[in-house]
Structure 1
Amino acid sequence: MTIKENDFRRIDLNLLIAFAVLFREQSVSLAAEKLHLGQPAVSGSLARLREMFDDPLFIRSGHRMQPTARAMELHGELMPLLEQLQSALFQRPEFNPAQASTTITLGMTDWVEMWLMPQILPALNKMAPGIRLSVVAADPFSDPERLEAGELDMAVSVAAGGPRWLEREALTTMGFTTLWHPQQLALETPLTLEQYVEHPHLLVSYREAASSQIDTLLGKQSLQRRICYTTPHFAGMPGLLATLPALATVPAGLADVWRHGGGLCSSPPPLTIAPFELSLLWHQRHSSDPALMWLRAFIQSRLAAGAASR
Structure 2
Amino acid sequence: MKDATLRKLDLNLLHVFSVLMEEKSVSRAAERLYIGQPGLSSALRRLREALDDELFVRVGRGLEPTPRALAIAPEIAGALSTIERAVRPPQAFDPATWRGEFRVGMCDNFEMAFLGVLTARIRELAPHARVVAVASTKRDSVALLERGAYDFSVAVHEEPASWHIRDALFDQRFVCLYDPKQLKLTLPLSIEQYVKAQHVIVSSEGNDTTSIDAFLDGAGIRRSVVAGVSRHTAVAPVLQSVPAIATVPETIAHCMARLHGLEVCLPPLDLPMEPISVLYRRTDQMDGRSIWFRRLFADVVAQALKTSGCRPSTPAAAA
Relative to structure 1, the CA distance from residue 37 to residue 181 in structure 2 (aligned partners, 3 Å threshold; closer, same or farther) is: same
Given that 1:144 and 1:166 are in contact with CA atoms closer than 8 Å, whether structure 2 keeps it comes out as no
CA displacement at 1:10 relative to structure 2: 5.5
Q: Which consecutive residues of structure 1, in runs of 5 or more, have no partner in the other structure?
A: none
Structure 2 SS opposite 1:163 = coil
Moved more, 209-218 or 281-290: 209-218
CA displacement at 1:152 relative to structure 2: 3.3
Which residues in structure 2 correspond to 1:81-96 (within 5 Å)?
81-96=79-94
Corresponding position of 1:199: 197
1:37-56 CA deviation, whole Å, 9 max, x = no partner? 45455345435545666765
- How many residue pairs end up in the alignment? 307
Structure 1 SS opposite 2:233 = coil
Moved more, 217-226 or 112-121: 217-226
**Partner Cα distance (1:101, 1:73) in 2:** 43
RMSD: 2.8
Corresponding position of 1:13: 11
Q: What TM-score does the superposition give when structure 1 sets the normalisation length?
A: 0.86
Corresponding position of 2:257: 259
Letter of the 2:100 counterpart: T
1:120-153 CA deviation, whole Å, 9 max, x = no partner? 1101112112333232111112222332343332
Corresponding position of 1:35: 33
Moved more, 22-31 or 290-299: 22-31
**Partner Cα distance (1:109, 1:5) in 2:** 52
Relative to structure 1, the CA distance from residue 117 to residue 283 in structure 2 (aligned partners, 3 Å threshold; closer, same or farther) is: same
Moved more, 230-239 or 7-16: 7-16
Q: Is 2:191 the counterpart of 1:170?
A: no
Letter of the 1:93 counterpart: Q
Letter of the 2:136 counterpart: A
Corresponding position of 1:225: 223
Relative to structure 1, the CA distance from residue 100 to residue 5 in structure 2 (aligned partners, 3 Å threshold; closer, same or farther) is: farther
Identity of aligned residues (%): 33
**Partner Cα distance (1:7, 1:308) in 2:** 64
**Partner Cα distance (2:93, 2:240) in 1:** 47
Corresponding position of 2:133: 135
Letter of the 1:300 counterpart: A
**Partner Cα distance (1:40, 1:220) in 2:** 80
Corresponding position of 1:158: 156
Relative to structure 1, the CA distance from residue 306 to residue 139 in structure 2 (aligned partners, 3 Å threshold; closer, same or farther) is: closer
Corresponding position of 1:248: 246
Relative to structure 1, the CA distance from residue 12 to residue 303 in structure 2 (aligned partners, 3 Å threshold; closer, same or farther) is: same
Corresponding position of 2:312: none
**Partner Cα distance (1:238, 1:26) in 2:** 81
Letter of the 1:164 counterpart: S
Letter of the 1:222 counterpart: G
Relative to structure 1, the CA distance from residue 98 to residue 201 in structure 2 (aligned partners, 3 Å threshold; closer, same or farther) is: same
Corresponding position of 1:297: 295
| Aligned counterpart for 1:58 among listed residues 56, 59, 79 | 56
Q: Which consecutive residues of structure 2, in runs of 5 or more, have no partner in the other structure?
A: 310-319
CA displacement at 1:248 relative to structure 2: 0.9
Q: What TM-score does the superposition give when structure 2 sets the normalisation length?
A: 0.84
